[in-house]
């Protein structure tokens, strides 16, 4: 019986060696155009050292499935959404990031992180941080699960890695930026040069949110780099043709509002009342401007009539002076001035004309 068992074992071992020799434990793997391939040693369900890496779209490679694992990590744009709308938020992500404004009023920020993997050290990220969340090398990048069941209730995956790392980092970094502004400015996204009532007192300096997004993006990127030990993630403006340039991750604010709904509602009512008051003020200003324009028009018309009357009086004075001077000249040549003027104006005495040369009819 012993010899039979031994012979069977020898046969199985020999068969395994034969299959291995025939290459039946090898498998061809393509490298997609949107992923980088990382080839690791693999033994006893444990990842070993990195053996090789392959750029997106590389030729199909052959791996030994008993000794190696090929991990595919996406090089396309990635997003991490923090949102009250759980159909938009990443599975398990916070609904908002809580903070206090500069007057210690609690506010809640909903936002999105936009990023890509740094291709320079993408395989090192998996070796140092990603493999503990993988299932035999698969982090379920494209199957994150639902909000209540990240990764489909599996213990580890990419969605949980994001929550444990980016989610925590956002909670560390966002409040330090939010605390520089009052909640009204944060909620309404006023211009950075506006006063505390929202009125711009100088030239426009851009929106408050744009400045906040830039500042959070920087300190969030710095915090992630510090926690992970290297810059494994870049902004979506990363250029693979310039792999040594890794821009900071980008932040997009979705909404900022006071934690107390009553405060937000009161602000809305105040804003509505202010809008009504501004509209009434505008209407009054328009009526006042119309009245002023009418007064100016009347004044112009009166001035025109006054100028016309003064001109008529001046013309009469000039005519009278001219006639007096003419009469003096006529008297010098013995001509009756009154008769001359009457004849000139068509009202001569008895139709008799005056001879200005002789002074006689």
One-letter-per-residue 3-state SS of 331-352: HHCCCCHHHHHHHHCCCCHHHC
Which of the two residues, 147 and 21, has the higher pLDDT score? 147
Q: What is the pLDDT of residues 195-243, one digit of tens each?
A: 878 888 788 889 999 999 999 999 999 999 999 999 999 999 999 889 8
Q: Evaluate whether residue 43 is within a structural domain.
A: no
Using the predicted structure, report yes or no on whether residue 359 has a pLDDT greater than 80: no
Same-domain status, 249 and 115: yes
Report how far residue 100's alpha carbon sits from residue 181's, in angstroms, rounded to the nearest whole number. Answer: 9
Report yes or no on 175 lying in a domain: yes
Q: Is residue 279 part of a domain?
A: no
Query: Of the candidates 214, 248, 264, which is a domain's last residue?
Result: 264
Task: Please tell me the least confidently modeled range out of 19-28, 197-206, 236-245, 255-264.
Answer: 19-28
Round to whole Å and give the CA distance between 152 and 201: 53
Structure tokens at 231: 């810059």
In this prediction, residue 268 has a pLDDT band, given cuts at 50, 70 and 90, of low
C-alpha Rg value of the chain to the nearest Å: 47
Same domain, 249 and 300: no
* Domain end residue (candidates: 264, 283, 310): 264
Residue 343 lies in a domain: yes
My answer on whether 130 and 194 are in the same domain is: yes
Q: Confirm whether 273 is domain-assigned.
A: no
Question: Which pLDDT does position 279 carry in this prediction?
Answer: 66
Residue 120 lies in a domain: yes
Tokens 């003020």 appear where?
A: 281
- Residues 251 and 310 reside in one and the same domain: no
Reported confidence tier of residue 257, pLDDT bands at 50, 70, 90: very high
100, 218: one domain: yes
Tokens of 33: 């155009």
Same domain, 150 and 260: yes
Q: Where a domain ends, among 245, 264, 283?
A: 264
- Whether residue 251 sits in one domain with residue 124: yes
Does a structural domain hold residue 7? no
Q: Are residues 357 and 219 in the same domain?
A: no
How many structural domains comprise the chain? Answer: 2
**The domain spanning residue 228 has which CATH number?**
3.30.479.30
Is the Cβ–Cβ distance between 47 and 131 less than 8 Å? yes
Residue 361 confidence class, pLDDT cut points 50, 70, 90: very low
Full strand arrangement of the beta sheet holding 46-54: 46-54, 35-43, 68-74
Could you tell me the residue range of the domain that residue 83 belongs to? 77-264
Do the domain assignments include residue 85?
yes
Task: Please check whether residues 249 and 337 belong to one and the same domain.
Answer: no
Residue-wise pLDDT for 152-205, tens only, equals: 777 789 999 999 999 999 999 999 999 999 999 999 999 999 987 888 878 888
**Same domain assignment for residues 175 and 302:** no
Question: Do the beta carbons of residue 92 and residue 147 sit within 8 Å?
Answer: yes
* pLDDT at 282 (0 to 100): 66
Same domain (yes/no): 202, 298: no
Ramachandran quadrant class, 318 (left: phi over 0; alpha: psi -120 to 50; beta: rest): alpha
Domain shared by 122 and 255, yes or no? yes
């Amino acid at each position: 019986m012993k010899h039979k068992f031994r012979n069977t074992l020898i046969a199985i071992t020999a068969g395994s060696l034969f299959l291995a020799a025939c290459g039946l434990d090898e498998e061809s793997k393509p490298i997609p155009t949107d992923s980088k391939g990382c080839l690791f040693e693999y033994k006893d369900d444990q990842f070993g050292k990195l053996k090789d890496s392959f750029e997106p779209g590389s030729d199909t490679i052959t791996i030994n499935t008993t000794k190696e694992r090929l991990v595919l990590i996406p090089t396309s744009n990635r997003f991490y959404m923090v949102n009250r709308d759980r159909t938009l938020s990443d599975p398990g992500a916070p609904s908002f990031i809580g903070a206090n404004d500069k007057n210690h009023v609690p506010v809640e920020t909903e936002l999105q992180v936009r990023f890509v993997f740094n291709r320079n050290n993408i395989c090192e990220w998996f070796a140092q941080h990603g493999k503990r969340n993988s299932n035999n090398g698969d982090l379920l990048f494209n199957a994150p699960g639902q909000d209540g069941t990240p990764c489909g209730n599996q213990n580890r995956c990419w969605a949980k890695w994001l929550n444990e790392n980016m989610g925590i980092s956002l909670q560390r970094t966002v409040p330090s930026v939010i605390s520089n502004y009052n909640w009204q400015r944060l909620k309404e996204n006023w211009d950075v040069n506006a006063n505390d009532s929202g009125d711009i007192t100088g030239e426009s300096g851009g929106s408050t949110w744009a400045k906040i997004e830039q500042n959070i993006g920087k300190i969030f990127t710095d915090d992630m780099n510090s926690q992970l030990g290297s810059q494994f993630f870049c902004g979506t403006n990363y250029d693979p043709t310039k792999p040594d340039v890794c821009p900071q991750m980008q932040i997009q604010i979705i909404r900022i509002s006071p934690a107390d709904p009553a405060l937000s509602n009161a602000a809305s009512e105040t804003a509505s009342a202010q809008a009504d008051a501004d509209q009434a003020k505008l209407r009054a200003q328009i009526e006042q401007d119309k009245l002023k324009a009418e007064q100016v028009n009347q004044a112009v018309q009166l001035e025109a009539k006054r100028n016309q009357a003064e001109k008529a009086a001046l013309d009469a004075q000039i005519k009278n002076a001219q006639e007096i001077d003419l009469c003096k000249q006529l008297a010098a040549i013995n001509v009756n001035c009154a008769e001359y003027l009457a004849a000139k104006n068509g009202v001569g005495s008895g139709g008799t004309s005056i001879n200005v040369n002789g002074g006689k009819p």
